[in-house]
Amino acid sequence: MKDIRKLLIANRGEIAVRIMNTARAMDITTVAVFSDPDANSLHVRIADESVALSGNSASDTYLRAELIIAAALRSGCDAIHPGYGFLAENAQFARACAEAGLIFVGPSPETIDAMGSKIAAREVMASAGVPVLPGISVDDLGDLRADLAARAAGEVGFPLLVKATYGGGGRGMRIVRDGTELYDAVMGARREAASAFGNGSVLLEHYLDSPRHIEVQVFGDSHGNVVHLFERECSIQRRYQKIIEEAPSPVVTESMRAELGEAAVTAAKAIGYLGAGTVEFVMDADGRFFFLEVNTRLQVEHPVTELVTGLDLVKLQLLVAEGRELPEEVLKASINGHAIEARLYAEDVTSGFVPVAGTVHRFRVPKIPGIRVDTGIADGSEVAIYYDPMLAKVIAHGATRDEARRTLARALYETRLHGVTSNRELLVAILREAEFSSGEIDTGYLGRHHPAHLIDSAHNPEASGVLTLAAALAAQAERRRDALVLGTLPSGWRNVFNAPQRVTFSSGGRQVEVAYQLCKTGLEAEVDGLAAVGVRLYSVQPAQVDIEVAGVRQQIDVHRVGDVLYVDGAVGSTVLAEVPRFPALRSIEAPGSLLAPLPGTVVRVAVEAGQSVLTGATVVVIEAMKMEHTVKAPRDGIVQDVCVVVGQAVDAGLALVRLEEGI
């Protein structure tokens, strides 16, 4: 056994912060690494020491094994914890750590190799008696022969899932319904997989429509102990990435739990597993489960297991890495209550979960009993285009599933996340939706419940008027506070009541005008031409308005950043941009311009000038935050001009292609 005294965390964001918190409690000195965009990130600020990795993209920084190891040696580390993603499941990196005399906090390189390829993993599991789905591999371009579709139909069966052979997290995944879609799906998945994991090999595996996604946490030590720590339900997904996870699964009975646990332990023993790992399964409507993959690392959703077992999985990883035996409480672990985790992403849900970048101006999660927050952001954090857009995980623990669900819904509803568009409203809507509440969920949940409809159904239509009025009053209070003359007069006061004050906001692509007047009889107001009834203003400050409308009094918080106001109250939240009274002239894009939906890098240009395209045809593919985003023709037309080239970095709103109507 060898104590770990100094630990380098080869990762970023919330998982780096999470690992550092446990390491600090174990009296282990922590060392962070960071790319140029992450120079002021939270994980760098809380580390004892940090080492710069010059560059922006993951391939130039966090995926450079030699730079990571050099940083560990330079800072005198004993060990490296890879977190998840990046180099966490890279056997070559694990070997390089050992060769450099560093402890790799994870399984052996041989185990990673065995499970790193989904093809090899399937073969090992089938030999061990773990049920698997049929599949074939496409390792290189030579496998893309003319009979691939026919071979897939015969050996795999449609529908099938194209997925990256190496890596996970939903990158490099495509559902294919028939042979005509196969080539484009394989090529797109290969590009995405190569970018995210450094290897473009993909697996074609039979696809079960809307199964449950259930995984089992396993742990092994060097003393022969291999145990499971029960299952997690991970069926609420978008774009093949989990967004809500829970433990235990609401559908798994004690007998099913025993079967799943036995299969997971069998899988772990078959590969001599050491440390923390996860065996993932898909389960059909009849309760039959099939092996999906083994993640040879800590999972994003590990906190739900920690909350129901009372165990610190990162601490256990470090103890096993030191050569210690798993403690008795692990070998005799039991389930206590229920835990649900929601992942907060910087993304535009209504635009198809498009990742967004920007500055986090405010991040607050209410302090509610039973709530845990794992995050890598704070006020002022920059969300860059180069990495996964996950901002934080909010986790609730309760005596029952319903208690945990309600607690988490309330915490997210009261969360303040200003500066970047997020999926917060969708998460709240899911947690409050009847089907989710009953536990009748599967991976097709967001196919049956359109995200935009879920969000709309949760909105209070009467709330927007009150929030907009409060924003106008707060803005006026701020102007009075900062006035150079007569600053002591009440906000909006006039000695001649001849006309109301007017403020125009932009919200959701439309403009809303607020007209209000403070007079002797009180406050008179209109929002979008509709008179506010029974308005009484108790107090108004730039950051908070205490107002009564139609007999209901409430306090509304207003947070201004430039011309943008973030408005939050008990009735909901909104973001408003104050429209300048005398706007500057703006340039106008050429008619027919197709604009970049988000900042990123052009990885494919599928058209050329003079080419005719049909509605829905791929025009340009942009890579951002480790995912590909396809810009398609909105109508039939002729390409007049191509404005970008492959490899070019683009900002949101930049013209990509100019399309003229007609064929």
* 297 catalytic residue (yes or no): yes
523 C-beta neighbours (distance < 10 Å), count: 19
Query: Beta strands 79-81 and 6-9: pairing type?
Result: parallel
Residue with tokens 């003393």: 223
φ/ψ of 490, rounded to 5, equals -60, 150
71 and 53 Cβ atoms separated by less than 8 Å: yes
3-state secondary structure of 530: strand
Q: Report, in this order, helix, strand and coil percent for the chain, each rounded to 5.
A: 30, 35, 40
Query: Beta strands 6-9 and 29-34: pairing type?
Result: parallel
Alpha carbons 183 and 172: distance in angstroms, whole number: 14
118 and 163 Cβ atoms separated by less than 8 Å: yes
Give the type of residue at 478: E
557 and 542 Cβ atoms separated by less than 8 Å: no
347 and 353 Cβ atoms separated by less than 8 Å: yes
Q: What is the DSSP string of 126-144?
A: HHHT--B--EEEE-SGGG-
Tokens coding 140: 């290189």
Identify any residues that bridge with 80 across adjacent strands, giving them in sequence order: 8, 104
- The torsion defined by the Cα of 439, 441, 446 and 450, in degrees rounded to 10, comes to -50
Residues, the chain, total? 663
DSSP 209: S
Tokens coding 237: 């997904």
Alpha carbons 590 and 529: distance in angstroms, whole number: 34
Alpha carbons 309 and 99: distance in angstroms, whole number: 36
DSSP 62: T
Instruction: Identify the sign of the CA torsion 98, 100, 103, 107.
Output: negative
Identify any residues that bridge with 50 across adjacent strands, giving them in sequence order: 32
From the list 297, 343, 405, 424, the catalytic residue is 297
573 and 566 Cβ atoms separated by less than 8 Å: yes
What b/e string do you get for 65-86 counting C-beta neighbours within 10 Å, with b at 16 or more? bebbbebbeebebbbbbbbbbb
Q: In 271-312, which ranges are continuous DSSP H helix? A: 302-309
517 and 500 Cβ atoms separated by less than 8 Å: yes
* Cis peptide bond N-terminal to 250, omega within 30: no
Task: Name the nearest CA neighbour of 294 among 319, 265, 326.
Answer: 265
CB within 8 A of 507, min separation 6: which ones? 464, 468, 574, 575, 576, 577
Give the catalytic positions in this structure: 297
